[in-house]
Amino acid sequence: MEGNKIARKWWGIAWDKNLESYADFGNRIGRGRSYCKNGLILDLRISDGEIVAKVSGSNIYIGMA
């Protein structure tokens, strides 16, 4: 990530927009962006049918989607 943008390429911008359309709670996307901008994403692994992330917030959280 450079500057204030999460994505720079057209496909990254499209992916971000698509994620926003699925957001079940309005604050989750913003909170995720904040974690990313502040360097709190410790590990992110994307594979077929699975996304696993280790995020440092008030505690270290390992989430799967």
pLDDT at 36: 83
Question: Are the C-beta atoms of residues 35 and 55 closer than 8 Å to each other?
Answer: yes
Tell me the pTM. Answer: 0.58
| Residue 19 burial (CB count, 10 A) | 13
pLDDT tens for each residue of 8-60: 889 888 987 887 787 776 677 778 888 888 888 888 888 888 888 888 877 76
pLDDT at 25: 67
pLDDT at 4 exceeding the cut of 80: no
State whether the Cα torsion 41-62-17-15 is positive or negative: positive
pLDDT at 48: 87
pLDDT at 50: 85
